[in-house]
Amino acid sequence: MSNLLEQIQASFLAESDRILAILPDFAIGLMGLILAWIIGNRVKSITKKQLAKRMDDPFLANFLARLLKTFILIGGLLFFLQRIGWGDAAAGIMATAGVGAFVIGFALRDIGENFLAGIIMAFQRPFRVGDTIEVNGISGVILGLSLRETHVKTFDGKDVFIPNGLILKNPLFNFTIDGFMRKDITINLAHDADIDKAIDVVQQAVQSVAGVLEGQKSPTISVTGIDLNGLQLQVFYWIDTDSPISGTVIRKDVIQQSVASLRKKGFILPHAQLDVNNK
């Protein structure tokens, strides 16, 4: 009985010595873990606020902020395990997690690709909600961005959900990223028309239309060709995409004012043909 008590006492003393030996490392590791928690919460709060300013999807902003906090906490946990002598266990956990992530990522590679593309676009921000874009032959207005897809409303009223990976891998045309958009119409004139006078008449007509920009973005007009219908007069004008006057209304007024002014000045419009760029 005395031998058993002595063995228990010896084991307890040995274990106590081991605990005391790792106590400083345990304290340092615990402090690192607590510090990682504090930093993670702080980084999450700052990241969420900054992302919320740059994107229109609060769910996506919150998710990315949480994801960043999780990475910081994982780093703190690995530091803690390393300090208390469980480095091999930590390495095993990371290796297992890495293999699992590879298997899951391979099985869901399309979803993972779109997810990562969504994260990249959230930071790069190639467009805003309300921008007019064209990608992979699809044109329309951006209505929203999620982790997997981008919601686009086409000009004929269709709702298209484009995978984010497709947007990231293809050229993206953003027609309104700076808040301005150039449009144009083509007017056919008679072959013997006075070109300089016609340009002057159309210039004044277009500039008088509400919503057409002036200054450096004033309308420009030039003759771009000739065919059986006559001379082709190309009219370029700029609009503000944030204007309360819609681009459709401005285009209609540009056409009406141009045609009316030309006819008033005696110009002949063969078949009254006009080609309009609807983008």
- Whole-number pLDDT of residue 253: 92
- Whole-number pLDDT of residue 4: 53
Over the stretch 205-231, which tens digit does the pLDDT of each residue have? 999 999 999 888 889 998 888 877 788
d(CA 123, CA 146): 13
- Whole-number pLDDT of residue 104: 44
Q: What is the pTM of this model?
A: 0.50
* Mean per-residue pLDDT, 15-43: 74
Over the stretch 87-111, which tens digit does the pLDDT of each residue have? 666 666 665 655 555 444 544 455 6
d(CA 111, CA 270): 55
Mean per-residue pLDDT over the chain, rounded: 77
Structural domains of the chain, ranges and CATH numbers in brackets: 2-107 (1.10.287), 126-174 (2.30.30.60), 180-276 (3.30.70.100)
Q: Is 63 helix (H, G, I), strand (E, B) or coil?
A: helix
- Higher per-residue confidence, 39 vs 5: 39
Is the pLDDT assigned to residue 143 strictly greater than 80? yes
- H-helix segments, 108-242: 109-124, 164-169, 195-207
- Structure-token match 């740059």, residue found: 54
In terms of C-beta density within 10 A (0-12 exposed, 13-18 middle, 19 or more buried), how is residue 112 classed?
middle
Q: In the structure, what pLDDT confidence band is assigned to residue 255 with cuts at 50, 70 and 90? A: very high
Over the stretch 187-201, which tens digit does the pLDDT of each residue have? 888 888 888 999 999
Tokens of 89: 């266990």
* Mean per-residue pLDDT, 154-162: 89
